[in-house]
Amino acid sequence: MSATLAGIDPDQLIDDPAYFAEKVIGEPLWDYQTDFARSPARYRVMCAGRQVGKSRVLAVCALHTAFIRSNVHVLVISNGEDSSKRVLDDCAGMARRSPLLRGSVLDDQKQLLTFANGSTIQSIPASEARARGNSIDLLIVDEAAFISMNLWQAAEPSILARTESRVILASTPWGSSSHFFRSKYLEGLGSPSARVRSWHWPSTASPIADHELIDEWRRTWSPIKFKTEIEAEWTDETGAYFTMEELDNAVADYALIPPEQAHGQTAVAGIDWGFNDSNALVLLGVLDDQELNRGKHLDELVYFLPWLEAHHRMPYSDFIDRIAAVAREYGLVRLISESNGVGQMPSQVLLRRIENQCHLMRQWTPVTPVTTDNRRKTSGYGALKVLLQQGRIVLPRHAELLKQLHALTYEMTPTGAVRIEVPEAAGHDDLADALMQVMCAVEGNFTSWRPDNPRPNRGKILTTPGGTRIPEKPRCWDLPHALMRVRGRDKGDGW
């Protein structure tokens, strides 16, 4: 691509990403972004807090790489489908606004941005990343701490086969020092070299940081969440209800089951309504693992999350449509809906909506509004903790869910009971809270003899770090009674 605008030095454009940002994107980079963008290190590792300008700098690095040479390929891998899409959307938005990058074409389906010079930027979720890796000039891994070691070990050699290729790893802090993100980050901090350099950007580094807002978060968020998401530091986990290790041990890269492929599989659903925030839906099922975990668990059941979704600022009516659609495709034994606070009205609307569509559903699904109090939280999260410790639940590698669970803190009451702390700023733990709701439905003592006839063509089998096995394409075991515990029946208050 040749620079065509007056007053722009084409050589400097090629040599200097910061000059490129100013002239082509139209806004200069901040100092710390400039330092990062200009670094020639083979691996650039960034551990960053929220809103500090990481997306901006990732997009500038991607666009600059694609701009200065023909036929280069930039690949963006991210933990979640949404977040990898977001990086590409940022790139496409900036390219659209810049006269020098006009002519770039975004293929939404392929998540591919193609430039006039033949260069491309493509984004793919981590789950699909296995097959790629050839001829990548710049690899950007967003939320790298949440990418599995297996995937990284498979991808890294093929990227580094090209001598000119570069790697950018960006993430909020997560994981042990044996994970590639943390170990590369520490290497680049402790002994920076031409190979590895690291940057640490707490949110307060941003020149436009809203310090009043950050102070408010310091007061109202759980200390663990503040330390990881704002200060961008690993915590010593004091007070964490779920440790990072406990959570990581339960994670596997299995494929979630989209509602349209569920064909009536049995699950229970939990709903958390957000206020000016996210709405979340989480499904829990019994894992159809046949003989896979029999050696470990005999006839005790293993649970997993076949599906979850969270929508930022989605109107309640649209979210209710989504839940209704999921309820038509899965065989839901119950929809548990938080009805205190903002949940009261939408829970009622949902109830009517589900009743009205009962002729379209595979089974009768009660909507159960529940009031969430501390006792319920302690019991739901407590049930999750027990299953985690027993290796009887498998979680998807979902960064937001894992972070929210890890951010929960607890305190001991004077009587020795455990009390989960509810942050003042409620509404940020939407996925964790929706999961807590379904955990309350687990009939912990329910057991079933695993049949001896493994399903043919079950495909690849994955093992969590804790040793629990799960097919890469799992299915729900049709054991509705394992998901129908009625809370507090003995106390007469039902649900």
Q: Report the C-alpha gap between 128 and 123 in whole angstroms.
A: 10
23, 44, 54, 469: residue in contact with ligand ATP (rule CB under 6 A): 54
Q: What is the radius of gyration, based on Cα positions, of the chain? A: 24
Task: Examine residue 50 and tell whether it contacts ligand ATP (CB under 6 A).
Answer: yes
Least Å distance between CB 64 and Mg ion?
18
Q: Which stretch binds ligand ATP (CB under 6 A): 44-52, 174-182, 255-263, 295-303?
A: 44-52
Residue of the chain from 3, 43, 55, 395 that contacts ligand ATP (CB under 6 A): 55
Structure-block tokens of residue 98: 């810049």
Contact present, 301 and 392 (Cβ < 8 Å): yes
Of ligand ATP, Mg ion, none, which one sits near residue 51, judging by CB under 5 to 8 A according to partner kind?
ligand ATP
Rule CB under 6 A: say whether 403 interacts with ligand ATP.
no
Strand 476-477 versus strand 278-287 pairing type:
antiparallel
* Of positions 19, 20, 30, 242, contacts ligand ATP by CB under 6 A: 30
Q: Binds 424, which of ligand ATP, Mg ion, none (CB < 5 to 8 A, cut-off by type)? A: none
Show the binding pattern over residues 444-463: x = contacts ligand ATP (CB under 6 A), - = does not: --------------------
- Least spacing, CB of residue 13 vs Mg ion, in Å: 25
Residue type, 469: R
Helices (H) and strands (E) in the chain, counts: 16, 20
Supply the minimum distance, in Å, between the C-beta of residue 465 and Mg ion: 28
CA distance 369 to 339: 5
199-228 binders of ligand ATP (CB under 6 A): 208
State the residue number with the nearest CB to ligand ATP: 55
Long-range residue pairs from 1-8, CB within 8 A, at least 24 positions apart, any chain: 1/67, 1/100, 1/101, 1/115, 1/116, 1/117, 3/100, 4/99, 4/100, 5/99, 5/100, 8/100
Residue of 225, 259, 219, 249 whose CA lies nearest to 239: 225
Please pick, from the candidates 32, 45, 53, 400, the single residue that binds ligand ATP as defined by CB under 6 A. Answer: 53
Name the E strands within 288-351: 303-312, 331-338
Nearer to ligand ATP, 48 or 327 (CB): 48
The answer to whether 175 and 181 have CB atoms below 8 angstroms apart is: yes
Candidates 52-60, 143-151, 225-233, 336-344 — which segment interacts with Mg ion by CB under 5 A? 52-60
Q: Which region, judged by CB under 6 A, interacts with ligand ATP, from 24-32, 61-69, 434-442, 447-455? A: 24-32
Least separation in angstroms between residue 49's CB and Mg ion is 11
Q: Which of 33, 34, 55, 98 binds Mg ion (CB under 5 A)?
A: 55
Q: How far is the CB of 54 from Mg ion (least distance, A)?
A: 6
* Residue 52 touches which member of ligand ATP, Mg ion, none, C-beta under 5-8 Å by kind: ligand ATP
- What number of CA atoms fall less than 13 Å from residue 42's CA on the CB side? 14
Buried b (16+ CB within 10 A) or exposed e, 264-294: ebbbbbbbbbbeebbbbbbbbbbbbbbebbb
How far is the C-alpha of 430 from the C-alpha of 398, rounded, in Å? 13
78 binds Mg ion (CB under 5 A): no
The DSSP bridge pattern shows strands 266-272 and 331-338 to be parallel
- Which of 9, 12, 26, 27 touches ligand ATP (CB under 6 A)? 27
| Residues that bind ligand ATP in the complex, under the rule CB under 6 A | 27, 29-30, 33, 48, 50-56, 208
| Residues that bind Mg ion in the complex, under the rule CB under 5 A | 55
